[in-house]
Amino acid sequence: MFPVMGSAASLSTMRGASIGPNLGWSSVYSSSALNLESKRRGVGFVVSGKANGNYPLTGVVFEPFEELKKGDLTVPFAPQISLARQRYEDECEAAINEQINVEYNVSYAYHAMYAYFDRDNVALKGLAKFFKDSSEEEREHAEKLMKYQNERGGRVKLHSIVSPPSEFDHVEKGDALYAMELALSFEKLTNEKLLNVHSVADRNNDPQMADFIESEFLTEQVEAIKKISDYVTQLRLVGKGHGVWHFDQMLLH
Ligand SMILES: [Fe+2]
Ligand SMILES: [Fe+2]
């Protein structure tokens, strides 16, 4: 049930509706897309009915074929142009590609740490495992961003990744604490970059991209920062040598 105010003119958008005979409009609105019963109530009309077709009973008929003529919704024909791309700004596309690069760089650095702790004269297998898993996780992040880029009709462009150091020993801190502090800095840097990607999405009125970054990255990033902060604190507590061996065992199991 809904009220229809005013005269037949106010219903002129309802082409395709068939109004009940007691209004005398059925010859004007002759299509049978809607079967409407109408009753005079007070100053206006109350028109009730069941929609046979897809028209909502709002008094305004959505005309998709007319809308298609106005909008920029034509399907591109050229094979080099994405069919799916819609309201995806160049700045957003570039920001996603930059974030792919950030994730790959961090993955590469963690991989270098894995190789260092796996050496026979370092032999901290728990840390080696932790950094190997972390490296794979960052690569997965890069791939998730690639998949997203393709979903939006952007183009994945891979930039160069920087060669990480191969030595992680530190005279005062020792290698485990030094590497873990480095990891914490990387995670905070990644978080900064993700927040920047999020603000690019906001600036370009792209709520779906902002939601993607929020739901798939930001929460996990905050959790990673907390976990690695805990590890840094624990490594500061245990000092070098025997304490590190215990910490390393904890990471193995
Ligand atoms: Fe990441
Ligand atoms: Fe991470």
Cα first-last separation, the chain:
65
Spatial contact of 113 and 131, defined as CB atoms under 8 Å apart: yes
For 32-66, letters b (16+ CB in 10 Å) and e give ebbebebeeeeeebebebeeeeebebeeebeeeee
Distance from the alpha carbon of residue 138 to the mean position of ligand 2, in angstroms = 6
- Of 126, 108, 201, 211, the residue nearest 163 (C-alpha): 108
- Tell me whether residue 159 is annotated as binding: no
Q: Which residues surround ligand 1, an ion (CB under 5 A)?
A: 103, 138, 141
Residues 230 and 239: their CA atoms lie apart, in Å, by 14
Q: Which domains does the chain have, with CATH numbers?
A: 2-70 (no CATH), 90-252 (1.20.1260.10)
Measure the CA–CA gap between 209 and 201, rounded to whole angstroms. 6
pLDDT for res 56: 64
pTM of the model: 0.76
Q: Would you state the pLDDT for residue 10?
A: 38
Ligand 2 centroid, distance to 106 Cα (angstroms): 8
CB burial class (10 A; 0-12, 13-18, 19+) of residue 156? Answer: middle
Cα–Cα dist 204/200, whole Å: 6
State the Cα–Cα distance between residues 46 and 5, nearest whole angstrom.
8
CA separation for the pair 229, 234 (Å, rounded):
9
- pLDDT in the model for residue 58: 75
User: Ligand 1 centre and the CA of 213: distance in Å?
Assistant: 11
- Cα dist from 228 to 49, 109, 179, 188, whole Å: 63, 15, 11, 10
Q: How far is the CA of 159 from the centre of ligand 1 (A)?
A: 16
Query: Ligand 2: distance of its center to the CA of 224 in Å?
Result: 6
Q: How far apart (Å, rounded) are the C-alpha atoms in residues 142 and 111?
A: 15
Half-sphere exposure at residue 208, Cβ-oriented, CA atoms within 13 angstroms: 9
Report the pLDDT value the prediction gives residue 52, as an integer from 0 to 100.
53
Q: What was the pLDDT predicted at 47? A: 45
Tell me: is residue 89 an annotated ligand-binding position: no
Nearest to residue 253, comparing CAs of 120, 129, 110? 129
Distance (Å) from CA 245 to ligand 2 centroid: 24
Ligand 1 centroid to Cα of residue 138, in Å, is 4
pLDDT at 32: 38
pLDDT in single tens digits along all 253 residues of the chain: 344 333 333 333 333 333 333 433 333 333 333 344 444 444 444 444 444 556 667 778 888 888 888 767 888 888 899 999 999 999 999 999 999 999 999 999 999 999 999 999 999 999 999 999 999 999 999 999 999 999 999 999 999 999 999 999 999 999 999 999 999 999 999 999 999 999 999 999 999 999 999 999 999 999 999 999 999 999 999 999 899 999 999 999 8
- Does 63 appear as a known binding residue? no
